[in-house]
Structure formats: structure tokens, C-alpha cells
Structure 1
């Protein structure tokens, strides 16, 4: 078990010694502080950023992976990444969310959606769990409406070029690197 996972399990078992202070609360995100009593007897205030769980999807075929180049306002830049999105629809399964995001962002549908586990996005302060999927048997699908803040272009990358793009920093998104590594190291 990774150190981050052990820490998260430990943190979830800790005694909360004061009421939570909710800073922000919406259907997609809760931000709060909690005072935690640590095993060494010390108290510490932790910031918990709690978004909805999300899915990340890597469309693949025999030779290529299909990424998207998307504008991210928070870093004021375009970034090369996998298709991803929040699981914010009531009753939607992980696989259904993956298929929806694949259609919305990559304009693709897949015969197979293969689970590749999960990662935490930033477990030092964030509870977000990212469910990883590979999509195979790709075909185009009808255009679905993108979110108004999504500025996306599809990018086809040869599998043999992926790790040099990571090494050069052209692919710098953590969830993308995690999913590419899981799929291409099979």
C-alpha cells in the first residue's frame, strides 16, 4: 500500500475534536476545515477539499492513444490530457460516466470500457478519487453539447511517443501520466 493511501486511511480514522468549519458547500464540491487529534497527541487543523468523484478515460487503438488539448483557466494554459469529468449525475455508474465524457469531450464511443483502477488527485488536502478507464473499439459519435467552459481539440499520439512526451514535459498532467502508465505498461 502506498504511503499516500496509508495516510488517507489513517486520516479517515482520526478523531475529530471540534465541529467542522464548512467554508464552501455545493453539489459538486465541499471545502471544510477539521481539527484532528493525531496519534502523537498533537492537534492539527486540516483543510479538506471534497469534490465529487471523477472518471478519466484513455481512448486507444493498436497504434495510438487519443488525448485532448484543453484550455485550463486555473493555469491559464492549454494542457494535453486524457478525457475526464465529474460523476455528478444522479445514479450514473462509473462506466456510464466514462462513456458520457468520452462522447462529450472526444466525440467517440467505445465497444469496450476497461477499468484500470483509481488514483487520488492530491491526497494531501483533497479527497478526489479518479476512476481510470481505457476505451477500445472506437468509433465517432454524434456531437454532444460540451460544457461552455470546455475548449477542446483532439490529439492523436503514437503509443511509442508517449513516454518521450512525458519526459519532455509536453504531457504534464498527473492523472494523464497515471492512466497512460497503467495502460501502456500492461
Structure 2
């Protein structure tokens, strides 16, 4: 049994926290594990009527590059269901709403050291909307560009290394499987 013997908070920030857990190992002894706590996130693969994926190019300081991404955001609004967060993020980042929503997948981004769980939605039947009241475009979002990428090209961008953001890779490939008709998806309001 992996029992936590001791926990020490090392850092608490706006988005993430870091703690050190001393964990009893099943074969005896203990080991220290550094854990990043994260509120979770959602992403949206928005597919327009022409079969193009709504993608962003956004600067990510940790790696010093602009990355191709899907609209996404933190689950940082207390009590907000994941689907509502996805709808809000789609409106905030790209000024769109969708008539049809499906939960494509959930994933643990880096479970070796981080608690982040990401839900990824497929949004179709897109229409333009105003950004939500009170939302302010700032920081890296001021430099963010939005492009509609033909679906086949988006898939190829995953395989040629142009799309490196894990959420975008998962979303594009999951949507490819869904559009091919193979998987049965969970209910759109499933918890994760």
C-alpha cells in the first residue's frame, strides 16, 4: 500500500502548488515524491462547417515558442462544470459558441508528478459570439492568432511535429478517430 507518511507544502501559487510527499513503499521503506497540484483544464476541438479546426498560435514562455493549440483554459472558476468552462473558453479565446458538444477524452497531462486532469470536447455547429462580459484580453493572448486549419492538414501537422502541444495532439487524433466512426463517447456532462 502506498501510504502518505508526511506532506510538506513547498510553494503555493496562483495556478499551481508544489508539495513533497513522503510515501511508504509496498516493499518497505519510503520515498519522497514532488507533486504539482493543478486545478485541471479543458480544451475544445472546434470543427467548423467546412471541416476545419479552429486553432490558435500562442506564445508559451516555458519553452520560448509560439505553439499551435486548441482553445483551452483552466478549471479555475469554483463550482463551474467542465462543459461550462469549455463553452466559456471557446467564447473568450476565439469568440465562438457551438450548438453540439461531445466529450472526446480526458487525460492526465503528466501523472508522474502533476495532478492536472484535462477534459477535451468536440464542438460543432459554430457561430460567432461576443466575448463574455468582464473578460479582458491581456498578456500572451494579445499576441495570439486564430486560424481555421483544414482537418487533414491539422492531422498531418501532428505527425510532422508542427503541432506539439499535448492537448492539441490528443484532440486532433481523438477527433480523427471519432469522425472515422470508431469510438463510443461518454456523456457530454460526464465528470472527470
- TM bin (shorter chain): 0.7 to 0.9
Question: Which residue in the other structure is 1:157 paired with?
Answer: 149
Residue 182 of structure 1 aligns to a residue whose secondary structure is helix
Structure 1 residue 113, shift from structure 2 partner: 2.1
Question: Which residue in the other structure is 2:64 paired with?
Answer: 76
Structure 1 residue 80, shift from structure 2 partner: 0.1
Question: Which residue in the other structure is 2:95 paired with?
Answer: 107
Question: Which residue in the other structure is 2:137 paired with?
Answer: 146
TM-score (norm 1): 0.87
Describe how 1:35-114 pairs up with structure 2 within 5 A.
35-61=22-48, 62-114=50-102
Residue 139 of structure 2 aligns to a residue whose secondary structure is coil
**Distance across 2 between alignment mates of 1:58 and 1:23:** 35
Residue 22 of structure 1 aligns to a residue whose secondary structure is strand
Residues 1:130 and 2:118 aligned together = yes
Question: Which residue in the other structure is 1:23 paired with?
Answer: 10
- Kept in 1: contact 2:47–2:124 (CA 8 A): yes
- Listed as ranges, the gaps of 5+ residues in structure 2 are 179-192
Q: How many residues align?
A: 173
- Listed as ranges, the gaps of 5+ residues in structure 1 are 1-12
Gap change, CA 1:99 and 1:45, over 3 Å in 2 = same
**Distance across 1 between alignment mates of 2:168 and 2:127:** 22
Question: Which residue in the other structure is 2:173 paired with?
Answer: 181
TM-score (norm 2): 0.84
Structure 1 residue 40, shift from structure 2 partner: 1.9
> Which piece of structure 1 moves more, 133-142 or 157-166?
157-166
Match of 1:169 among 161, 164, 167: 161
Q: CA RMSD in A?
A: 1.5
**Distance across 2 between alignment mates of 1:153 and 1:107:** 12
Structure 1 residue 148, shift from structure 2 partner: 3.1
**Distance across 2 between alignment mates of 1:131 and 1:149:** 23
